[in-house]
Chains A and B, each alone.
Chain A
Amino acid sequence: MDTTGTFWMPEGSSTIAGDVDALFYFILWASVFFFLLIVGISVYFIIKYRKRADRPNATSQVAYDVKLEVVWTLVPIILVFIVFVWGFNTFMKLQVVPRDALEIKVTGRQWMWVFDYPNGSNSLNELVVPVNQPIKLLMSSDDVIHSFYVPQFRIKQDVVPNRYTITWFEAKRTGKFDLYCAEFCGKGHSEMLGTVRVVSSDEYASFLEGGPAGEAPSGQSLVAQGKQLYSNRQCITCHSVDGSANVGPTFRNLFGHEVTLSDGSTVTVDENYLRESILNPQAKVTQGFQPVMPTFQGLINDRQLDALVAYLKSLSEVEQVESEQVTAE
């Protein structure tokens, strides 16, 4: 995915990026000029007018120069005025959404991103959009303030509870782009990461046809459906299936085993524990892990819960033995 950016800027991958970067470099070079001017003159004075033994301490009278004062007041005023007008002009381009934009609803919640598409499907932490198409993001938060930030698109907009905010972009190429939460939102702030996956319009159409991501085609076994949910509902981000600890406990050998909770009590992982932990994750937190998992209430239906539970069972040796016995019979 990454990057052919410069020393200062990551690759500009949206239509607006060029405009923002042009202003950025104008300010940069103007600043470098003034910085070198100030430092250069200072260094020159330091060397030239350093105190020497052959020169008296009392210095010659240097007349105050009003002209000079006016020049170094007016020149910066003119320059910052240019930057002001240029900056606001480009800012309005960032603010005014093109009419033909495709609208996608973004919801921030501690600590994940939910994307709702026009046809009713949704995705978590991965925004899928077609290339060369203006996308309008209508955003709000379920809890505290978040901020939707895609550096390569040069867009950032706070996501606020109880009101809508809007931003838009048009990606110039397909690929994956980092999405960050840029407004401090608590323990999981630095893990509230996502991806913007820019695809061709055909691919986008077929993505939408896939239905709400995770609603696996019927006809598959529950375990297979659960496995699919495991990756596209983003369990995979924090829970491994190979036994290694990540942000959350691994799913390997979890079902049927006893775990110690953060308050010291123990609980055996069964279907109801899993259900509670998905819908109300802060209720019983495994010892040694931070309570940072977002709730999936409203993002997952009962059938999907069944599938996930089935998948977790399949990852546990205890359960496997039992199911083998069942098959043997």
Chain B
Amino acid sequence: MSTETLSTAHGENKVNYLNAAHGIKSWLLTKDHKRIAILYLWSIMLMFLFGGLLALFLRLELLGPGPDLIQAKTYNQLFTLHGAIMIFMFIIPSVPAILGNFALPIQIGAKDVAFPRLNLASWYFYIIGSGLAVYAILAGSVDTGWTFYTPYSTQTTGAVITMVFAIFILGFSSIFTGLNFIATIHKLRAPGITWYKMPLFVWGIYATGIIQVLATPVLGITLVLLILERAFGIGIFDPAMGGDPVLFQHFFWFYSHPAVYIMILPGMGIISELVSTFSHRKIFGFKPIAYSSIAIAFLSFGVWGHHMFVSGQSQYATLIFSFLTFLVAIPSGVKMFNWVSTMYKGAITFETPMLFTLSFFFTFAIGGLTGIFLGATAVDVHVTDTYFVVAHFHYVMMGGTIMAFFGGLYYWWPKIWGRMYNEAWGQASALLVFVGFNFTFFPMFIMGTQGMPRRYFLYPEKYQILQVLSTGGSWILGLGLLIMAAVLLHAIKWGKKAGKNPWGALTLEWMVDSPPPPHNFEQIPTIEFGPYDHDKVLVEPDRAGAVT
């Protein structure tokens, strides 16, 4: 910010956060939440590209039942990397660190987050963690699966310690982000933005922050114990050293199940924004949607044992975990019904973000409903650790979080860069992603119920037809993502200028310029209407850069 100059004052170019300062240093030392969002954007998308290419390659290998391109050990390393990268380096930070960082402070009328330096530090922790993970791949790689189950993870060769340490560091990045948003939401809301005038995206990120702060330390502790066991032979999990391997699963899922909600809650927040904006209709059931996020955050801590119904844990534990698992399904269902009802008597338009929202309804409904099968203990015994589980969590994570993330990316893109993307190509990409996604993952449900175990390098020939369908789907999905990348990148340089409010949305970030000025607001904003008051206020979409 130190190099702010007058050069930006001429002509139509107003000072915004992008042109307010120049040079690498102005980015690497920035404390502006919007610039940190951009830093996160490029680094996280790079990891997504990496994880995605791994997935495409794995699907290619699975085209035939035998060993086609690689050996078993390599296959095991690649699916481990795909999982670890996608979860710890892509999905967990994606929505909060990119879109949350960019939009949340503006949505509550703040100049920045509560702790701008901590915000920048979280990005450096992300970079160090991801860099270390890449180093671990080069230094022998890891073949444990992203779950690092003991005693396999203490006995196998490879750079397990480095990879686990990388994820330990990434955990701090996540904690910093969550902590920052909780403080920001509590302390920096502009006058008039009460809890019930706060956009639902902010509610979603708030609930996420609670889990990030409370659950991530447990992952950190677990990973440290794992490192101690592997490096110094201190027996904690490995029975050969007097440890208990199932204990690791309890510790691991105590974090990693709530982590599923770290991943989905921000996505649900985005969907709440998009469905209201593109239906031009007040959100139906603000409070149920808001409180269901909080309910999910708390219930999420009591369900970890549903990953362990066949692990040998006590039946009483299974009873309680199964019950709580069904309870946590309810708030998601409530949200779904409220979103769909929001479209009732609306004036629905079908820009790309809305297409992703509708995709989300379809795929997340399947993801949620198939969770019921897994919560039902007797059925879980048959389908757990099969492709059914793989399909289920891809429907929740990719069909849920990532669909919402893509929708959000298109939605806020004009705000981030001040330029519109090409709508027709955007819609085409959404359609391809939707079709490709379902072709890739729906066959896995059938393979799973038919008994195909997950993490199989070789597979019985009877599953080949479905495997081929799935691989074919992954190509359509890949094409959709390629087009999406092209559309978004093209928009940055060659897109038409976007106005303040291209969608006619009512949240605060659409009241400031696109791209926003360095400090978001010239003065403390006054609140004249709520974030979803489409029944009271009409804002015509503004794509020409004109002032409303």
Residue contact B451 to A90, C-beta cutoff 8 Å: no
At the interface, yes or no: B429 with Cβ under 8 Å from chain A? no
Question: Contacts of A20 on B, CB cut-off 8 Å?
Answer: 378-379, 381-382
Residue contact A9 to B456, C-beta cutoff 8 Å: no
Given A51-B348, A73-B330, A161-B245, verify A86-B376 contact (CB < 8 Å).
Answer: yes
User: At the interface with chain B, which of A77-85, A204-212, A254-262, A296-304?
Assistant: A77-85
At the interface, yes or no: A273 with Cβ under 8 Å from chain B? no
Question: Contacts of A180 on B, CB cut-off 8 Å?
Answer: 451, 453
Nearest Cβ on chain A to B87's Cβ, whole angstroms: 16
Nearest Cβ on chain B to A51's Cβ, whole angstroms: 4
Residue contact A84 to B155, C-beta cutoff 8 Å: no
Q: Give which listed residue, B144, B310, B446, B455, contacts A8 with CB less than 8 A.
A: B446
Given A49-B279, A64-B284, A72-B337, verify A94-B349 contact (CB < 8 Å).
Answer: no
At the interface, yes or no: A156 with Cβ under 8 Å from chain B? yes
Alpha-carbon separation in the docked complex, A35 to B333 (Å): 11
| Contact flags A215-234 to B (C-beta < 8 A → 1, else 0) | 00000000000000000000
User: At the interface with chain A, which of B6-14, B362-370, B433-441?
Assistant: B362-370
Which of A10, A60, A76: most chain B CB closer than 10 A?
A76
Alpha-carbon separation in the docked complex, A38 to B156 (Å): 46
| Contact flags A87-108 to B (C-beta < 8 A → 1, else 0) | 1111111110000000000000
Question: Contacts of A186 on B, CB cut-off 8 Å?
Answer: 76, 143, 152, 156
- Please, which residue of chain B has its CB at the minimum distance from the CB of A7? B446
Residue contact A91 to B373, C-beta cutoff 8 Å: no
Question: Contacts of B347 on A, CB cut-off 8 Å?
Answer: 49-52, 55-57, 59
Alpha-carbon separation in the docked complex, A185 to B455 (Å): 9
Which of A8, A38, A68, A152: most chain B CB closer than 10 A?
A38
Question: Contacts of B156 on A, CB cut-off 8 Å?
Answer: 186
Alpha-carbon separation in the docked complex, A306 to B145 (Å): 40
At the interface, yes or no: B535 with Cβ under 8 Å from chain A? yes
At the interface, yes or no: B329 with Cβ under 8 Å from chain A? yes
At the interface, yes or no: B527 with Cβ under 8 Å from chain A? no
Alpha-carbon separation in the docked complex, A88 to B271 (Å): 34
Residue contact A69 to B346, C-beta cutoff 8 Å: no
Which residues 271-310 of B have a CB within 8 angstroms of A? 279-282, 284-285, 288, 309-310
At the interface, yes or no: A319 with Cβ under 8 Å from chain B? no
Interface size on A, residues (CB 8 A): 87
Residue contact B155 to A91, C-beta cutoff 8 Å: no
Alpha-carbon separation in the docked complex, A77 to B326 (Å): 8
Apart from A28-B373, A76-B333, list 14 A-B contacts with CB within 8 A.
A9-B450, A31-B370, A50-B347, A72-B337, A84-B323, A86-B378, A87-B380, A89-B378, A145-B245, A151-B451, A158-B310, A162-B244, A182-B386, A188-B72
Give the interface of B toward A (CB within 8 A).
Answer: 71-73, 76, 143-145, 149, 151-152, 155-156, 239-240, 244-246, 279-282, 284-285, 288, 309-312, 315, 318-319, 322-323, 326-327, 329-330, 333-334, 336-338, 340-341, 343-350, 358, 361-362, 365-366, 369-370, 372-373, 375-382, 384-386, 446, 449-451, 453-460, 462, 504, 534-535, 537-538, 540
Give the interface of A toward B (CB within 8 A).
Answer: 2, 5, 7-10, 19-20, 23-24, 27-28, 30-31, 34-35, 38-39, 41-42, 45-46, 49-52, 55-62, 64, 68-69, 72-73, 76-77, 80-81, 83-84, 86-95, 143-145, 147, 149, 151-152, 154-158, 160-163, 165, 178, 180-191, 290, 292
